[in-house]
Chain A
Amino acid sequence: MSEQFGKIYDQYVEKIYRFIFLKVESQEVAEDLCSEVFVCCLEEFQKNSIENTQAFLYQVARYTIADYYRKRAGVKVVSIDEADDIFEEKPTQLQEAAVAAEMEEVRKALARLRDEYQNFIIWRYLDELSIPEIVQITGKTEGNVRVGIHRALGALREEMKERANVQV
Chain B
Amino acid sequence: MEDKNLIAQISHLKEIKPRQEWVVLTRQRLFEEKAFGPIPEQTRYEVNLQKGGFWATIEGIASFMARSLQKPAFVIPMLALIVAGGGVGRAAYESLPGDKLFPIKAAAEQVYLRFAGEEERPAREFALAQQRLADLRAVAEQNKVKNLPLAIREFEANASKISEGFLQIVENQPSRALQASRQIVQLQKDKLEVEQILGAKIGEEQEEEVRKATRRLVEYELGFLETRSLTEEQAVLFENAKASVGAGDYESALEYIWILSQGAQDES
Contact = CB atoms under 8 A, between A and B. Distances in A.
A66 B195 CA distance: 30
Given A5-B35, A157-B1, A42 B13 contact: no
A103 B13 CA distance: 6
Interface string B10-25: 1111111111001100
B34 A31 contact: no
A74 to B, nearest CB: 23
A7 to B, nearest CB: 11
A131 interface: no
A3 to B, nearest CB: 10
A138 interface: no
B229 interface: no
Contacts of B9: 102-103, 105-106, 160
B34 to A, nearest CB: 5
B35 to A, nearest CB: 4
Given A18-B13, A99-B12, A31 B18 contact: yes
Interface residues of B, number: 26
B175 to A, nearest CB: 37
Given A17-B17, A31-B18, A157-B1, A39 B11 contact: no
B30 interface: yes
Contact of A9 (B15, B30, B201): B30
Contacts of B201: 28
Contacts of A50: none
B15 A103 contact: yes
Interface in B6-57: 6-7, 9-19, 22-23, 26-27, 29-31, 34-36
Contacts of A18: 13-14, 16-18
A17 B1 CA distance: 29
Contacts of A35: 26, 29-30
A135 B23 CA distance: 29
A103 B11 CA distance: 8
Interface in A111-168: 121, 125-126, 153, 156-157, 160-161
A160 B8 CA distance: 14
Contact of A153 (B6, B11, B36): B6
Contacts of A9: 27, 30
Contacts of B22: 31
A2 B12 contact: no
Contacts of B29: 35
B148 to A, nearest CB: 15
Interface in A95-113: 99, 102-103, 105-107, 110
Nearest to A104: B12
B64 to A, nearest CB: 29
Given A106-B13, A125-B11, A153-B6, 11 more contacts: A18-B13, A18-B18, A35-B30, A39-B34, A42-B34, A42-B35, A103-B12, A103-B13, A126-B14, A156-B6, A160-B1
